[in-house]
Amino acid sequence: MKKLALGTLSLTLLLAACGNNEEDTELDPADGTDEATEEVQESEGPRVLTDGLGNEVEIPEDPEAVLASYLEDYLTALDITPVAQWSINDGEGVQSYLQDDLADVQTIPYDLPYESVMSVEPDLILVRDQIEQDMVDQYNLIAPTYVMNASPTSWRETMREIGTVLDREDEAASVIESYDARAEETASLVQETAEGESAAAIWMIDTSLFVVHPERSSGSVLYGDAGFDIPDVVDQLSDDADWAAVSLEELAEMDVDHLFLISDAESELMEDRLWQNIPAVENDNVYTFDSQSAWLYYGPIANEQVLEHIDSSLQQ
Amino acid sequence: MERSKQSSHYKDKAFKRSTWLLLFLICLLGVLVMVSLASGYMALTPTEIWLTVTGAGTASHELLLYQFRLPRIVLAVLVGTGMATAGAIFQGVTQNGLADPGIIGIHSGSGFFAVLYLYLLTLNQDQPPVWLNAGLPFAAFIGGISAAVLIYVLAWKEGVTPIRLILVGIGVNAGFSAALLLVQLRMSESDFNRALIWLSGSIWNASWAAVLRLLPWILIFIPLSLYKARVLSVMQLGEEMAVGLGTAIEKERIKLLTIGVALSAASVSAAGGIAFVGLIAPHLARRLVGGKFQRLIPVSAVTGAILIVLSDTLARTILAPSEIPVGLIVSVIGAPYFIYLLITIKD
């Protein structure tokens, strides 16, 4: 009952945070697919879709240069190479876990300055977050700009919507299907080796700790797909953030059996008695990954890498 | 007789000098605008710019210059003009060289109301109304007026002494900044980022739409302040003298402050709280043409425009393709100047 209440609450928060237009348009994926197929059958002309800001966007046929900053994961899953990729610090910071596929793709600053967007000459721009209409109008001068309906925190919805926009619904559906099939494997491994045991993903920056939201990013993989138990504390902490700040005391209180630690360096926290007494630490079930790995991201590729990390951790 | 002739001769000379100076500053602004047009992430050669300006350029160059760079530069000019003029008015009315709407809380009052307005109107609504952005300057204006009234009321003690006004203003500034942060923290992540420009000041996403929202305010209130410049000059003679010369001093003060608030609030609604422009520009202008407001106001307006265009050009070239908020660049120039003024100002 409590879980249900929390679930409803977080759904409400999610809706409140992301505008309400997705309610009636995108939450029901079957609906969206129907609509799009209809349009394709009806006319040979350009497809027109309604985006997250309520704008009618004319989608070019077979766009070759798609700019979809911070949505590269989904594009790559559909075998589409984006025309430029998200970056911070003047191209220094990229989504490392995707670089097998994106090594040759030029970078673009995360805040998408107009001139940078212009210079990569996109013919379709997908925008992940709800931005101001003024900015969309400016981007539209460069190329048709489509603001996502789907909440960035739901990768399945995002995947389906991108499939619809790029006219690859079937491929998008099969990406989700094959991911779910892959997740089954990990789920059965978890059942075999760690049935009824709890896990948490903790992101450690110096002495600050953050715990993943149970329904977002790698949290949805850990609990929703792999089937680990959610420690009570994680459920209570989860607010409207992908990663919620957590104290060492709260972490100790979790009594967690498996700890997936995202960290780039040893921390003095690990010397603490509280840390030493965590069941996962006592039983040597702490698995460390660097902050460049897929754990902090969203998308089918990120999630599959997280599944692989879980597999190899459990088989150690 | 002799004397008055002499003084009118002197007046002519000073008038001539300041007119030439104003023309020179406008030319300087023109040159800066050209430099600014030519600089940015996408390189353009002077030939390409010339071709585009004469209408023989490629479509993409046209788009770059006319839709992305030009509105931004025009917005920079308008914001600089508005903030500098507002600064000159505030300094004149309060007879206080340190009175900058950005320092005494007018900006943060405007910013707070602008953010609150956006927050309340986008909350629980499927589609924000189409007039959402058009209402922004008005919300900012109400915020600016509230801040001004608050400062005036709190600083009133059988009249308002300049130093009291500044101290109260700094307090009001802190209060509104805190309130602004409080509203921002209740926003979702993307709204928070959007609202961040009211803290740091930025015009990187300028468009013609933004220019058109600000333009009427500048077109109405800059001429008004030029018209009222004479009153400001009279006020500098001291309250008694001004009253003696037939000035309804409290009434005029309120009118002038309203004009000042309108200019600064409209500018803030377009570019966020850029501090120090309203401080530096009038000061430089006073050094150049003296304390007469008929000359001081136009010269500070152009100086302010130069300051923002220059800062914005730096803001988008230093770390290109990434951008620095223009407000930070202005602060880097402005803060040391403010400290210099604090040290050298006579009591």
Residue A115 falls within a domain, yes or no? yes
Residue A30 falls within a domain, yes or no? yes
Chain B residue numbers with beta carbons less than 8 Å from the beta carbon of A132 are 133, 194, 205
What gap in Å lies between CA A80 and CA A65, rounded to an integer? 9
Residue B283 structure tokens: 């000061």
- The complex scores an ipTM of 0.82
What does the pLDDT average to over B185-203?
70
Chain A residue numbers with beta carbons less than 8 Å from the beta carbon of B205 are 114, 132, 134-135, 138
Q: Closest to B321 (Cβ–Cβ): which among A116, A137, A138?
A: A116
On whether the CB atoms of residues B234 and B245 are closer than 8 A, the answer is yes
- Which three-class secondary structure state does DSSP give residue A179? helix
Asked which of A110, A136, A167 is the last residue of a domain, the reply is: A167
Residues A125 and A223 occupy one common structural domain: no
Residue A60 pLDDT more than 90?
A: yes
Q: Which domains does chain B have, with CATH numbers?
A: 76-344 (1.10.3470.10)
Residues A212 and A249 occupy one common structural domain: yes
What gap in Å lies between CA A299 and CA A292, rounded to an integer? 15
Please, what's the b/e burial string for B110-119 (b: 16 or more CB within 10 A of its CB; e: otherwise)? bbbbbbbbbb
Residues A45 and A114 occupy one common structural domain: yes
Cβ of B67 and A138 within 8 Å? yes
Q: What is the pLDDT of residues B249-300, one digit of tens each?
A: 888 888 999 999 999 999 999 888 888 899 999 999 998 998 899 999 999 9
The set of residues, in sequence order, having a beta carbon less than 8 Å from that of B3 and lying 6+ positions away, is none
On whether the CB atoms of residues B299 and B14 are closer than 8 A, the answer is no
Residue A300 falls within a domain, yes or no? yes
Residues A71 and A134 occupy one common structural domain: yes
Asked which of A167, A201, A224 is the last residue of a domain, the reply is: A167
Residues A32 and A89 occupy one common structural domain: yes
What gap in Å lies between CA B211 and CA B79, rounded to an integer? 10
Residue B3 pLDDT more than 60?
A: no
On whether the CB atoms of residues B260 and B93 are closer than 8 A, the answer is yes
Residue A290 falls within a domain, yes or no? yes
Hey, how many other C-beta atoms are within 10 angstroms of the C-beta on A20? 12
Give the residue carrying structure tokens 């302040």: B225
The percent of residues above 70 in pLDDT, for chain A, comes to: 85
- State the best of A15, A20, A87, A115 to mutate against chain B, taking most chain B CBs within 10 Å: A115
Q: Closest to A113 (Cβ–Cβ): which among B67, B124, B321?
A: B321
Q: Closest to B207 (Cβ–Cβ): which among A17, A109, A138?
A: A138
Residue A21 pLDDT more than 60?
A: no
Side-chain-side CA neighbours of A127 within 13 Å: the count stands at 26
Residues A26 and A162 occupy one common structural domain: yes
> How many domains would you assign to chain A?
2
Give the per-residue SS3 of B153-216: HHHCCCCCCHHHHHHHHHHHHHHHHHHHHHHHHCCCHHHHHHHCHHHHCCCCCCCHHHHHHHHH
Res A64: pLDDT: 92
Q: What is the pLDDT of residues B29-78, one digit of tens each?
A: 999 999 998 888 887 888 888 888 888 888 888 999 999 999 999 999 99
Res A12: pLDDT: 41
Chain B residue numbers with beta carbons less than 8 Å from the beta carbon of A111 are 204, 322-323
Residue A181 falls within a domain, yes or no? no
Least confident of A17-31, A142-156, B249-263: A17-31
Residues A297 and A213 occupy one common structural domain: yes
Q: Closest to A115 (Cβ–Cβ): which among B40, B124, B126?
A: B40
Residues A163 and A227 occupy one common structural domain: no
Residues A159 and A14 occupy one common structural domain: yes
Residue A23 falls within a domain, yes or no? yes
Residues A133 and A94 occupy one common structural domain: yes
Domain range for A54 = 2-167
What gap in Å lies between CA B299 and CA B312, rounded to an integer? 20
Alpha carbon A2 to its chain centroid, in Å, reads: 26
Residue A176 falls within a domain, yes or no? no
- The DSSP letter of residue A192 is H
Residues A18 and A161 occupy one common structural domain: yes
* CATH of residue A152: 3.40.50.1980
First-to-last CA distance in chain A?
37
Cβ of A118 and B205 within 8 Å? no
Asked which of A137, A167, A197 is the last residue of a domain, the reply is: A167
Cβ of B67 and A134 within 8 Å? no
Residue A184 falls within a domain, yes or no? no
The percent of residues above 70 in pLDDT, for chain B, comes to: 90
